[in-house]
Amino acid sequence: MSRRSLARLLSAVAVVLGVASFAWPDSPEERVLARLETLSQALRASFGDEPGERRERIAAVFRRGMTSNVVLLAPELGTVEGIDALVELATAAAGVDLTLEPSGVHVAGDRARARLLAHLSFRIPGEEIRQKRTATVVLRRAEEEFMVERLEVGPPSHEEPEARP
């Protein structure tokens, strides 16, 4: 086989694989992780964000990714119920940076459960706090998408010293 024929064959294979990656849907586990990443990205504040615009952005993303009766369980907060309460909580938490490290995703039928290690940093007057927490997220399938219906966040497992800019 000539170099030119080999190059054409490899190019054709690359094109077929590229088209196939768009034609075949992501696995359910990948869709769960993508949903969680989208929700965590919504919390980030951008330079020049107006509070009202940030709240509307968070509300829009949360409404697309969570059930209306979503529940958050966290040691400091107790039980927070409903999407509106979570939007208010997220809006009040200015300067939050959340990075998720998945440790397992299990999908069975129309339910999914994700275990995560959350790296959380936030600012309070005079300091920045960094924490690691474990979290369990329960999702349910709505057509082809997964919606968060329950978030269980554990206590901080490790608190790092104040970060200096």
Instruction: Say if 15 falls within a structural domain.
Output: no
Instruction: Say if 43 falls within a structural domain.
Output: yes
Give one DSSP letter per residue of 143-159, joined into a string. Answer: TTEEEEEEEEE---SEE
Q: What is the pTM of this model?
A: 0.74
pLDDT in tens, 74-133: 998 899 999 999 999 888 876 678 888 888 999 999 999 999 998 888 776 777 788 899
Instruction: Say if 120 falls within a structural domain.
Output: yes
CA-CA distance, 113 to 18, in Å (whole number)?
30
Q: What is the DSSP letter of 74?
A: E
CATH number at residue 35: 3.10.450.50
* Domain interval for residue 135: 27-160
- Per mean pLDDT, which range of 6-20, 68-82, 113-127, 142-156 is the poorest? 6-20
Instruction: Say if 96 falls within a structural domain.
Output: yes
H or E element in which residue 161 lies = none
Instruction: Say if 14 falls within a structural domain.
Output: no
Average pLDDT, the chain: 81
Instruction: Say if 79 falls within a structural domain.
Output: yes
Instruction: Say if 59 falls within a structural domain.
Output: yes
Number of structural domains the chain divides into:
1
Q: Quick one: pLDDT at residue 97?
A: 80
